[in-house]
A and B are shown apart, each in its own frame.
Chain A
Amino acid sequence: MADILPLRFRMLHYISTVDKACADDIMQALKPEYGTEKQFTKNVFVEHLLDMKANFVIDDNDVILDNKGELVIYYSINDEGRNLLKKYLPKRWNRK
């Protein structure tokens, strides 16, 4: 696809379209776009989420343990993140 966004940017955009999402949710949703790439790993997605949270563009507001006892963190976009998307998301993406 010609107009694929940088992965972190696309993750922020995806989070803005849902109430909340964890790394696995986002990976599932973005698999058609990035699934064949070497960077498409859980660790990379988790790292992007932690970084975006540290940059105050998303919030982590819900945590659970899955049935394997592993931590699952849900993220939502905040005003700062929404503002960034409003200003800097390429025009063609606004319609999606």
Chain B
Amino acid sequence: MNISGNSTAIIMKQKLDAKFAKKGVLTGLFSGCTWGLNNVLLGLALGLVPAMGEDAALYAIPLAAACMNDSLAGLWLLLYNGGGGRLQEIIRSLKTFPGLMVCLAALLGGPLANSGYLLGISMAGPAYALTITALYPLVGAVLSRIFLKQHILPRVWAGMFLSVIGAIVISYVPPEGGNNANFYLGILFASIAALGWGAEAVLAVFGMSMIDPKIAINIRELTSGIFMAIFILPIVGGWAVISQVVALPTTVGAFAIAALAAGVSYLAWYTANSKCGVAKGMALNGTYVMWGVIFSAVFLSQPLTQNLAIGSVLVLIGATLVAINPKEFFNKGGEA
């Protein structure tokens, strides 16, 4: 695009654009790092939940944890937006179509994808389910190409593919024979999870053309948390889990700290998506798999297996490919 103005002003503008692009990339990486931290903290919080039998461990506890994670993150974000004098923006946004699209994004990425993820793992086994759900950044990129017409550079596609392969290597577990009667249903649920997360990012970015990301993410977290509390937890017996948890202050505290990391991470993810596009935002957020491995190795002394090391290196190379092109920073601020 042609920009008019004197040469000093144009150079200053190019520097501003480069700074903006860099901020988007760093925010995306930060979102991946804090999401990895959230996963580790959530794992620690889950370890403090009293044992409630095999059935509860399969659905009730993970879904109750997902509900608490989103609801508490929503409350942290309310505090953040309250401090910034933006609470009225939440009501204003909910009265508009883009605001309602963010609510829909929340339902797709929260209850639908989370439930699909858990059902997929239990029916098809983690080997297949985790491989399919790891494809979500690619789903998001394809949907953003179709619906938001976001241009994605070949370098970014290549980086995304590498990151996804890395994520699959990290989460790889040997298949267990696949003789489960619900195997194909499980594959379907895992696909729904990948679609849900991809569609969430696209709808949210659409909404954020007109709504502040800080507000969009607050709406997202509260919508997801409230919907799960009212419609999903009663079906799976999740309220029994929550009533056990609230009686244990240390466990509530652990979930609240994990949710703080989730709130920060989601805020950064939505901000990055709004600044550098869905494809880059999702790929950079996808580095959480690698960060999770690093945090687990450093803080929980978990062994660093060959798979974890190789997968993390692939994720790192992929994310670098997605993020870095010095030429683009200075010349083509608008492309994804």
Contacts and interface: CB of A to CB of B under 8 A. Distances in A.
A80 B281 CA distance: 21
A9 B96 CA distance: 9
Given A6-B99, A51-B274, A54-B274, A65 B12 contact: yes
Interface string B198-221: 000000010011111101000000
A3 to B, nearest CB: 8
B8 interface: yes
B177 to A, nearest CB: 47
A5 B277 CA distance: 24
A48 B212 contact: yes
B16 A88 contact: no
A88 B89 contact: no
A48 B212 CA distance: 8
A9 B3 contact: no
Given A6-B210, A7-B89, A71 B96 contact: no
A6 B13 contact: no
A56 B18 CA distance: 17
B74 interface: no
Contact of B1 (A3, A61, A72, A81): A61
Nearest to B1: A59
Contacts of A61: 1-4
B9 A4 contact: no
B209 A52 contact: yes
Given A63-B10, A65-B9, A39 B86 contact: yes
A65 B89 contact: no
A64 B10 CA distance: 8
Contacts of A87: 97
Nearest to B9: A63
Contacts of A19: none
Given A48-B212, A55-B205, A71-B9, A4 B2 contact: no
B6 A71 contact: no
Given A55-B274, A60-B13, A38 B84 contact: yes
Nearest to A38: B85
A55 B209 contact: yes
A50 B333 CA distance: 11
A48 B213 CA distance: 10
A51 B276 CA distance: 9
A90 interface: yes
A3 B86 CA distance: 16
Contacts of A9: 96, 98, 210-211
Given A6-B215, A62-B3, A71-B9, A39 B89 contact: yes
Nearest to B89: A6
Contact of A63 (B3, B86, B274): B3
Contact of A50 (B20, B89, B93, B208): B20
B95 A90 contact: yes
Contacts of B211: 6, 8-9
Contact of B210 (A4, A62, A88): A88
Contacts of B149: 56
A55 B20 contact: no
Given A6-B215, A37-B85, A51-B275, A71 B16 contact: yes
Given A52-B209, A63-B3, A64-B9, A88 B274 contact: no
Given A7-B89, A60-B13, A81-B209, 9 more contacts: A5-B96, A7-B212, A51-B208, A54-B276, A55-B208, A63-B12, A64-B6, A71-B16, A90-B96
Interface of A: 3-9, 12, 37-39, 48, 50-57, 59-65, 71-73, 81, 84, 87-88, 90
